[in-house]
């Protein structure tokens, strides 16, 4: 399991701290019969819903491509 808690963002190489509460991304891996499954869970404010809907499928596609080589 990996958990990332968002504490801010980086813009123009500058760290900007933000108070997003407990905004987190959680990644769990499980294996069964030689097949590995990645489950991603996002806990984010509603204002980020569109961002994650647009970017997350692309990011998961990249992870899948790397994993399947």
* Per-residue pLDDT, 28: 97
* Per-residue pLDDT, 19: 85
Q: Is the pLDDT of residue 29 over 90?
A: yes
Q: Contact 40/60 with Cβ under 8 angstroms?
A: yes
Q: What is the pTM of this model?
A: 0.74
Q: For tokens 């990332």, what's the residue?
A: 4
- For residue 45, CA distances in Å to 3, 6, 30, 39 come to 17, 11, 27, 20
Band of pLDDT at residue 11, cut at 50, 70 and 90? very high
* CA angle at 32 for the pair 29 and 34, rounded to the nearest 5°: 100
Per the prediction, the chain carries an average pLDDT of: 91
Spatial CB neighbours of 41, under 8 Å, sequence gap ≥ 6: 25, 26, 27, 28
């Amino acid at each position: 399991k990996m958990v990332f808690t968002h504490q801010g963002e980086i813009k123009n190489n500058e760290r900007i701290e933000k108070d997003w509460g407990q905004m987190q991304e959680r990644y769990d891996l499980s294996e069964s019969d030689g097949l590995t499954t990645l489950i991603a869970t996002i806990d984010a404010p509603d204002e980020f819903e569109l961002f994650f809907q647009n970017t997350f499928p692309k990011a998961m596609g990249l992870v899948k491509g790397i994993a399947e080589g």
